Structure 1
Amino acid sequence: MFSFAWKTIRARKAGFAAAFLALFGGAILLTACGVLLESGLFGGVAAQRYSAAPAVLGADRSITVELEKKSDKSEDLAEKVPLPAALVGEVARIPGVTRAVGEISFPATVVGRDNQVLSGADGGRSLGHGWASAELTPFTLSGGTAPGPNEVVLDAELAQRSRFSVGDQVRIMVDSAPRAYRVSGIAAPSGRDRLIRQSAVFFHDSTAKTLSGSPDQVAAIGVFGKVDNLDGKLPPGVLVHTGLDRGEAENLDGAQSRFVLTMVSGSFSGFVLMIVIFVTASTLALVLNQRRRELALLRAIAATPRQVRRLIGAETLLVSGVAALLGVAPGLYVAHWLRDFFVTIGVISPDFTLSLSPVPALATVLLCVGAAQLAAWSSAGRMLRLKPTEALGEAAVEPARLGRGRKITGAALLAVAGAGVVSTLFLPGELAMVPAGSSVLVAIIGIGLLGPVITGLATRVAAGVFLRSRRAERFLAAHNSTANSRRLAAAVTPLVLTIGFAVTQFYSGTTLSEATQHQARAATVADYVLTAPQGVPAEVAAAARRIPGVTASTPLIGTEIIAEDKNAAEEPLSKSKAYGVEGNQLTGTLKLTGVTGNLSDLRGDTVALSSTEASWLGKKIGDRVELYLGDRTKVTPKLIATFDRNLGYGDALFPQDVLLPHTTDRLADSILVAGNPSVHKALSELAGHYPGLQVRDKAELTVATDAQQEANLWLNRILLGVILLYVALSVVNSLVTSTLDRLGEVRLLRLLGGTRRQVLRMFRAESVLVVSIAVLIGSAVPVLPLAFLSLNLTGTPIPAGPLWVYLGIVGVSVLIGLCSIRLPARRLSRVARRQP
C-alpha cells in the first residue's frame, strides 16, 4: 500500500506539496510552542549570587487551596517571601549540614559623584547584603578589609564603573534619603568578572539587618555539606532548591519568566493547534477534492472503501510524517528566536535557559500526523460512502449541497461565538478579552464549515453586478464563482482567518492598554507625579507636604494580593492589583468613582475594595476580609469602603504603612502631589535630597502594570506575527493549488476561442471577487467582539489603536490573495497555449 501511495504522491506533486508545506509550517509552530511550554515548566535561571551553595532554602511563594472532589487551586505571590532568621541555626544542626548561611537582600542604590543613581550590572539593580553571606557566591576581597558598622564593600564591577576605591565616601540610598558610607574594600566573585543583572553592596551584618527592615527575617538560606537529606526535616512552606532551581530562590525573575512562558505558550499552543488543524484540514480537503475523479475510478474498478481509505491514510502518513520530522529542527530555532525576543522586550530574564528534551518533538509528530489523518478521513468520508456509480457521477461536478452534520456544526459554532460576544459586555476588565478573542476564532471556524453557503450567497450578490457587464471575462468569472462555491470558499476562508484573527488580537490588546491608562489618569486629580527609575522612597510624600503650596500628597505603593474564598464555585483564589496610599491625603490626589463609605478612614487595620471584588467575596462594609499580602502575610482588615473597579488602580487600597513593609523593595511606584503651579520648582529641588527624582505632569502617570501590559502587547504581536506567517503560507498554498488545478478549464476556454488576454482578465475578475468577499467577511467578524469589548472597557464602541494597522493587515491580505491567483494564472495561460 505504501508503494502505491508513494506513486500517487509522485504523480500529484503540486497538490501534495501544498499539504506538505502546511504541515511543515504547523510542525515548526507546534515545536516552538512545545519547547516554550516545557521551558515554562522545567527551565530556569542559573544561580549567580548563590552559585557556591549546593542547596538554597527559600519560602514557598504560592497559596494553595485544597478542594474536595476538585483539583487544588494555587496562585503565585508577587513579592519575595522571607524565612525566619531563627531557621538558620536549626538548619545548621541537621546531620550532614556543615554550615548554613542566612542571606539578607534589599535594594541599595549607589549614588554617583555627579548625584546620579547608578544601576546594577547590565542595567539591573544593586542589592545590599550582609558580609557573612559573601561566601554564597563566593565573593573574595581583592583589596581592603571587611566592612565595619559604617562601611561597605563594593563589588569590583560596580566600583570600577562608579570610580570609587578603598577609602572613598559613597552615598547609598535604600528606602530613604542617601546615607554616606566609607568604602572599606573591593570584592569580586570568584571565577568570573561580575554577576549578571545585579551588583552587590556588602554591609556589616548588623547594619544589613537594620537596613533590610526585618531584622528577624532572611531572604534565603544557603546550605553546605550533605544536602540530600533535607527533605522531611524542614518546616512546612520551606522549599529546597538545588541545581538550576537555585536561581529561582535568588531572584523573582526566574519564577516570573517561567510563569510568562507557561502562560503564553499554554494559551497560544491551543490557538496554534486549532489553526494547524484548520489549515491542514482545508488544504487536504482541497487536495482530495481535486482527486474526486481518481478516487471514484478506483471505486468503479472494484476498490473497496477500506482499501481507498487505507490508500489515503498511507499517503497522508507519508506526507505528514516527513513534514513533521523536518519541521522539528526549524521549530527549535524559532523557539530560541522567540526566547531572545522575549528577553529584548523585557518579559523574561536575559539568562533564562530553555529546557530541551525529545517530548516537544514527539508531541509535534503525533499531533501533525493525527491532525492530518483526521482531516483526510473527514474530507474523503462522503466519497467513500457513495456507491461506485454514484461516486463517478458526483466526481464530474462539484457537490451541490453540504452535509447535514457540517451545517449543524457550523451553525452551532456561530451560535457559541455569538454567546461569547454577548458575554464580553458582562465580564469585568481583563476577563472580557478571553471571550472576545475566542469568539472570533470560533466564528471563523464556523464560517469555514459553512463557507460554500456563505460565499455562495456573497458571490450571487457580486455576480449580479458582474453579469450586467458586457465583458466576457466578467461574465465567465461570475458563473465560475457561482458554480464552484466550494473552491471559492477554500480561497476565501484562509483570508478571512488572517484578517479577522489579526485585527481582533491587535486591537483587543491596544484597547485594554488604553483603557488602563485612561481609567488611571481619569481617577488621578493630582497636579504632579513624582517618579524615579528604581522607585521612590515613601517618605518623599511627607517631604513634599512640607513645601508651601502643596495641599496633599500620597505615595502609590503597588503590589498584588490574593483573596481566598473556599466556597466559590470555580475560583477560590483571586489575585488582584493593590495599592498602598495615605487615606487622609486622597482628597485632591485620587478620585475614584462609585465610592460607598469614606476612603479617608483608610488607616490602621482597614481596606477598601472594588465593588466587584467585594461582591465576589460576599463582603459588605464593616466585614472582615481574609487576604494574603505579597509576602504571604495573612491579614484580616476591616472593609471601610467600596469603589467602582479601576483598571489602573486595581481592586484594593490599603494604608501605605500596612502595605509597605510587605513589599520586596519597600519603595513607592510614584508620589501624587496636589498643589499650585508655584510648587513645581520646590518639588524639583527635592531631587537634590533624593537623587533620580523626577517631577512629571499627571498626564504622564504610569501605573504599576503599564510596563507589564506593554510587554504583553509585544508578546501578542510577535506571536501573532509568527502565526500569521503560517496562515499566509496556507493562503498562498490553497490559492496557488486551486488555480493551477484549472488547466483543463483554461484549455477548454482557449479551444472555444478565448484569447489569453480574456483568460487573464477572467482570473483578475475572480481574484477581485475573492479578496473583496474575504475583506468584507474578515472585517465584519471582529466588529461586534471589539465593539462590545471597547464598550465594556472604555464606554465607547470604537476600539483604541492606530487605523494604519487595520489597513496594513487588509492590504497585505489583499496583496497575497491577488498575487496567489494572478501569478499562477499567467503560467496556466502559457501552458494552455503551448498544449491546446
Structure 2
Amino acid sequence: MKNSRSATGSTLSFAWQSIRARRTEFVASFLAVLGGSVLVTACGVLLQSGLFAGIAPQRYSAAPVVVGAAQSVRAEVPEGPDVVEALPERAMLPAKAVESVAAVPGVRTAIGEISFPATLTAANDRTVAAPSGGAMLGHGWGSAPLTPYTLRAGAPPRGPGEVVLDAETAGRAGAGVGSTVRIATADGAVPYRVAGVAAPPKGDGLPRQSALFFTDDRARALSGHPREVAAVGILAEPGVRTDAPGGLAGLAGLFGGGSADDALTHRVARALADEGLDGDRVVVRAGVERGEVEFLGAAQSRSVLTLVSGSFGGFVLMIVLLVVAGTLSLVVHQRRREVALLRAVAATPRQIHRMLATEALLVAGAAALLGVVPGYLAAQALRDGFARIGVIEEGFALSVGPVPAVAAVLLCLGTARLAVGAAARKQVRIRPVAALRESVVERPDIGRGRIAGGYAVLALAAVSLAAVAFVPQSTAAVPAVLCSLLALIGVAMLGPRLTAALARTAGAGPLRRFGVAGHLAAANSAAGSRRLAAAVTPLALTIGFASSQFYSQTTLSEATRYQARAATVAPYVVTGADGVAPDVAAAVRRAPGVTAVTPLVATEVVAVERTLLDEPLSRSTAYGVDAAGLRGTLDLPADSGSLDELRGDTVALSGTEARLLGKGVGDRVRLVLGDGTRTEPRVVAVFRPNLGFGDVLLPAATVLPHTTDRLAGTLLVATAPGADGSAVAGAVRALSKDHPGLAVGDRTDLRAAQDAQTRSQDWLNRLLLVVILGYVALSSATTLVTTTTARTRELALLRLSGGTRAQIARMLTAETALLAATAVLLGTATAALPLAALSLRLTTDPVPAGPPWVFAAIVTLTVLTAVLAVRLPAGRVLRTHPLEAMRART
C-alpha cells in the first residue's frame, strides 16, 4: 500500500513539474478543454432547464393551483417510451370542469378563465401594444381575482359595450373612465366604453401582458368557445396543502402531514379523471409550473430548449472531442523524443502511459473546473439570446444545479484520457531504438486502422450526400450538414496523408515562386505532415462547418420564399398587424373588381398513423384555405384528385406527406388539429410539394375555430381581368378604418406563416454558429501557436546553418500560405459538395443562396487567424539568439 501511495505521489509530482516546465506546450490543450467545459456546461444547463424549468405565473399568481388542458398529444409505443408532440394552439377545457373542480374538498373557489387575443385602438386611431412584446388579452371580469385585479377607478363592466382596462394599458392609451376605445377581436373591431380601471397588487399592470375585462357573457362570446374555458384557477381553503412537497419536506409530509395523495393537486386530478378528464387531456399545476398553463409558449419553450440544447450539445460534444483530442495528440507527438529517451533508460510503457495521462488529467481537470462558472454564465447569455430572437418565451427561468457541471468535468476528463492514450499507444509500444529514430525523423504515414476509419467515415459522408436527393425537401438540409461534418471528420483522420500529398503538389507548383524558401517549405510540410495536419484540421473545420451551417439555412429559407411566391398567382395580398379577421375576408370579397379571396390560416397538425418511418405521430405544417377562392389566387398543381373539393370533412396532402402516411385520394387520415381536436377527414387531393405552403391543406372553416386567435395570417385577393388595380387596392385599404392595421401589397409581399419561424430558426443557427466558431477559432489559434513555438530548435538550427532571418521568414511565409490554402481547399470542398446537392434539390441551381460576403468573411478570418498565429510567435523566436534557442526545450 505504501509503495502504491509513493508511486502515485511521485507520478503526480513528476507530472506537475513537467507541466510547469512545458507551460507553452500545454496552453493549447488547456484552452481547448476550458472552452469545451464552458460549452458543455452551458448545453447541460439549457437541457436541464428544458426538462425541469418553466415560466413563473403572472395572471394566475393568486391561484395556488391551476388546471389547464394538456398542450400535447401522446401515442403509446408497445416497446419503448410514449411519443409526445406539443400542440401549437391553445387547447380548451369543457366548462363543466369548473363545477367538477369546485366540488373537490379543500377548494374554496374555482374560477373558469376565459382568455382570447385582442387589439386596442385609442381615440386617435393609434394601436396600443402590450408591454415588452407580450400579449393583449381579453378576459371575463369574474376571473379578476386570479391575479388579483382590483378596481382603482370606476365600476365593473355591466353591459356588452363596457370594458375595464388595466391601469398600465389605460395610461398608454390615454383613456380613463368614460372614454371610448375600439377593441378588435376575431369578431371584428367594436367601440367600448371604459367602465373602470383596475390594477394588480403591485404596479399598474403585468410585466408582459395587458388585460382587458369584459362581462363574462361578452367574454365567452368573443372567445369563440362559449362552452369551454382556457383554464380553471383554484383558490384553496386555508391550511390546505396544494402540492406534494419533494425532498426532505416530502419525507416530513409522509410522517407528519399525510400522504402525497392528500395534496390538493392530486385530489383535483382524481376528481377530473372520474369525470373522464384524465392526464392525457388535462394538467393540474402548482408552483412555477402554473406558468405552463398561463403561457402557451411555456411548454413549447421547454420542448424547443430541450431539442435545441440536445442537438446543439451533440455538435458541441463532437467538436470538443475533435479539438481536445487533436491538441492533446499534438502535445504527445511533440514529446516523442522525450518518450524515446525514457524508453531507452528502461522506462516501461505503463509508466510512460501513467505519466502522460496524469499530465493530461491535471491540465484538463484544472481547465474543466475553471470552465464551469463561465459555462453557467454562457447558459444565461444563450437563454437571453434565444428569448430575444423569439425561439423561447421571455421570462423562461433556468434550472441551475450541479449535474451539468459534473457531467462537463467528467466528459472533458474522459476525452483527455482517451486522447492521450490513443496518441501515446504507438510510441510506447515500439522498441526504444526505433523510438529514438522516429523522434528525429517523423514517419510520414499513419496507422492502418486510422486510414480504414477515415475512408469509412468518408463513405458515410457519401451516403449522406446521396440521401439529399431522396429525403423530403423540408428535411434535406439535415443530411447535407451531416455530410459536411462527416467529411470533416474523415479529412481529420486522413489529415497527414492529405496534407503530405498537397505539400508535394504545391512544392512542384505554386511554391516555386518562393524559390529555395518555397522548396524548403514544401519539404518541411511534407516531412512534418502530422504537424501540418494538426494545424490544418481546426482551420478546415472552421470553414467547412460554418459554411455548411449558414448556407444550408439560407438556401432552405430562400427556397421556401421562392416556392411560396411562385405558387401565389393572386395580384394582391392583404395582411393585418396581428392577423386578419374572418369578416375582413367577407368585406374584401364584396369590393368592386375582386373575383376571389382565400385566407391562409397557418397552423400545425399531427398525423396519428404508422408512417413509412414507423413513427406513430408525425407533425406537419398545415394551412387552412377556401376552395372557392383558390382559382386565381393559389396554384398548387394536384397530381391526383382536385383541390376544388376541399370542403367540409376533407383534406389535401402533399405528395411527400401522402407517401409517408401511405394515403391516397379517398382514404381517411387521422389528424390532431392544433388545439388537440381529433378528426378523420377524407383525402380529396394529393398536390405537388411546396415548402411555402406545408404538407397539409384543410378548409379554412375547419381550421379557424381550432386556432388560438381565430385569425388568418394573410388574404390572397384575385381581381377580374381589366379591373382597376388602384381602385381595388383603395377599396381594401378603406377597410382599415374599421379594421386597424390592414395593409395591401402585391405577391412579393407574401408573408408565409413560416417566415417568422424561419427567421427565428435562421437567427438561432447564426447565434449557435458564432458560439461554435469562437471556440474553434480560439483552438485553431492556440494550436498554431503551439506548433510554431515547438519549432524553436529547428528554426535556430537553420540560422546556425547560414540562413538569414529574411530567408527563414520567407520560408515561414510560404509554409503559412500552404497551410492557409490547404485549410481553405479542404474546408470549402467539404462544404461545397453537400451545399450544391442541397441547392439543386431545392432550387435546381447548384449555387447555394445567401450573401457571398459571409463565405469571404469566414475565409478571411480563418486565414488571418493562421497568419497571426504563425507569424507572431515565429517573430519572437527569430528575435532570440540561435544558441539560446537551441537550449530551449522541444
- Name the TM tier (shorter chain): over 0.9
The answer as to 2:223 corresponding to 1:212 is yes
Q: Take 2:233 and 2:622, find their aligned partners in 1: how far apart are those partners?
A: 32
Equivalent in the alignment of 2:26:
16
Matched, 1:99 2:143: no
2:701 counterpart of 1:657: yes
Structure 1's 628 and 470: CA in aligned 2 closer, same or farther, altered over 3 A?
closer
2:265 to 226, 230, 236: 230
What is the 5 A alignment of 1:47-196?
A: 47-150=57-160, 151-196=162-207
Distance 2:831 2:134 in 1: 41
The C-alpha deviation readout for 1:601-642, integer Å capped at 9, x for no partner, is: 111111111111122111111111111101111111111111
Partner residue, 2:41: 31
Aligned pairs for 1:305-324 (under 5 A) are 305-324=349-368
Residue 193 of structure 1 deviates from its aligned partner by: 3.0
Query: Is the aligned partner of 1:761 residue 2:813?
Result: no
CA deviations on 1:538-580 (whole Å, 9 max, x unpaired) are 2211111111111111111111000011465532211111111
Cα deviation digits, residues 444-495 of structure 1 (max 9, x gap)? 1111110011111111110112674573212211211121111111111111
Is the 8 Å Cα contact of residues 743 and 832 (structure 1) preserved in structure 2? no
How far residue 322 of structure 1 moved from its aligned partner, in angstroms, is 0.4
Q: Distance in 1 between matches of 2:797 and 2:638?
A: 73
Q: Quote the offset at 1:224 in angstroms.
A: 1.8
Q: Once the two structures are superposed, what CA deviation does each residue of 1:242-274 show, in whole Å capped at 9, x if it has no partner? A: 111111100112122222221211111001001
Q: In structure 2, what residue type is equivalent to 1:739?
A: T
Q: CA deviation at 1:366?
A: 0.5
> Any residues of structure 2 matched to 1:398-797 within 5 Å, and which?
398-465=442-509, 468-469=512-513, 471-566=515-610, 568-675=612-719, 676=723, 677=725, 678-797=727-846
Cα separation, 2, equivalents of 1:176 and 1:304: 84
Deviation at 1:793, TM superposition (A): 1.4
2: CA distance, partners of 1:743 / 1:171 = 78
| Structure 2 unmatched runs, 5+ | 1-10, 243-262
The question of whether the paired residues in 1 share the 8 Å contact of 2:113 and 2:143 is answered with yes
Give the 3 Å change call, closer, same or farther, for CA 727–470 of structure 1 in structure 2: closer
Note the residue ranges of structure 1 that are not aligned, 5 or more in a row: none
What is the identity, as a one-letter code, of the residue corresponding to 1:193? D
Matches within 5 A, 1:814-825: 814-825=863-874
Identify the match of residue 51 of structure 2 among 18, 26, 41: 41
8 Å contact kept, 1:746–1:832: no
Structure 1 residues 242 and 759: CA distance shift in structure 2, 3 A? same
2: distance between equivalents of 1:343 and 1:464? 54
When normalised by structure 1's length, the TM-score is 0.98
Shift of 1:699: 0.3
Mapped partners of 1:504, 1:569: distance in 2: 26
> Equivalents in 1 of 2:388, 2:610: separation in Å?
40
Query: Is this contact kept in 1: 2:60–2:146, CA < 8 A?
Result: yes
The equivalent residue for 1:285 is 329
- For 1:807, give the aligned amino acid: A
Cross-structure match for 2:245: none
State the AA in 2 paired with 1:60: A
d(CA) in 1 for partners of 2:521 and 2:638? 60
Could you tell me which amino acid in structure 1 is paired with residue 140 of structure 2?
G
Q: Which residue of 2 aligns with 1:356?
A: 400
> In the TM superposition, what whole-angstrom CA distance separates every residue of 1:145-172 from its partner, at most 9, and x where no partner exists?
1111221111111111111111222221
Distance 1:567 1:659 in 2: 23
Specify the SS of the correspondent of 2:285. strand
Query: CA separation in 2, counterparts of 1:191 and 1:821?
Result: 60
How many pairs does the alignment contain? 836
SS class of match (1:782): helix
Q: What secondary structure is seen at the aligned counterpart in 2 of 1:110?
A: strand
In 1, distance between residues paired with 2:714 and 2:127? 17
8 Å CA contact 1:530–1:672 kept in 2: the answer is: yes
Q: Matched residues in 2 for 1:304 and 1:193: separation?
A: 76
Judge conservation of contact 1:116–1:692 (CA < 8 Å) in 2. no
Distance in 1 (alpha carbons) for counterparts of 2:836 and 2:628: 39
> Counterparts of 1:126 and 1:69 in 2: how far apart (Å)?
45
**Counterpart of 1:758 in structure 2: which amino acid?**
Q
Distance 2:800 2:613 in 1: 71
Return the alpha-carbon distance in structure 2 between the equivalents of residues 499 and 771 of structure 1: 11
Structure 1 residue 281: Cα displacement? 0.7
Partner Cα separation in structure 1 for residue 178 and residue 568 of structure 2: 47
What SS class does the counterpart of residue 532 from structure 1 fall into?
A: strand
**What residue identity is the alignment partner of 1:55?**
V
Q: Is 1:831 the counterpart of 2:842 in the alignment?
A: no
User: Of 301, 326, 336, which residue of structure 2 is paired with 1:257?
Assistant: 301
Whether 1:812 aligns to 2:861 is yes
Whole-angstrom CA distance in 1 between matches of 2:422 and 2:531: 17
Quick one: distance in 2 between partners of 1:501 and 1:259? 26
1:6 aligns with 2:6: no
**Over aligned residues, Cα RMSD in angstroms?**
1.4
Q: Is the 8 A contact 1:102 1:221 kept in 2?
A: yes
2:329 match: secondary structure: helix
Shift of 1:393: 2.2
SS at 2:444 equivalent = coil
Structure 2 counterpart of 1:91, one-letter code: V
TM-superposition CA deviations, 1:778-811 (whole Å, max 9, x none): 1111111101111111122111000100111111
1:391 paired to 2:442: no
Moved more, 583-592 or 381-390: 381-390
Q: In the aligned structure 2, how far is the partner of 1:768 from the partner of 1:687? A: 62
Distance apart, 1:16 and its partner CA: 1.1
State the shift of 1:122 in Å. Answer: 2.1
Amino acid in the other structure paired with 1:183: V
**Matched residue SS, 2:470:** coil
Poorly superposed stretches of 4+, deviation over 3 Å: 466-470, 566-570
Specify whether residues 479 and 832 from structure 1 end up closer, same or farther in structure 2 by C-alpha distance, changes over 3 A only: farther
Q: Secondary structure of the residue that 1:562 maps to in structure 2?
A: strand
Worse-superposed segment, 116-125 or 501-510: 116-125
1:480 to 1:545, Cα distance in 2 relative to 1, 3 A: same
Task: Tell which deviates more after alignment, 249-258 or 376-385.
Answer: 249-258
3-state DSSP of counterpart to 1:691: coil
**TM-score normalised per structure 2:** 0.92
- In structure 2, C-alpha distance between the alignment counterparts of 1:50 and 1:657, rounded to whole Å: 32
How far apart in 1 are the matches of 2:264 and 2:138? 31
Bigger mean CA deviation after superposition, 171-180 or 548-557:
171-180
Q: Which amino acid counterpart does residue 61 of structure 1 have in structure 2?
A: Q
Change in 2 beyond 3 A, CA 1:641/1:467: closer
Aligned equivalents of 1:345 and 1:567: distance in 2? 33
Q: Deviations over 1:259-311 (max 9, x none)?
A: 22212111110010011110011101111111001111112212111111111
Q: Please, which moves more after superposition, 622-631 or 591-600?
A: 591-600
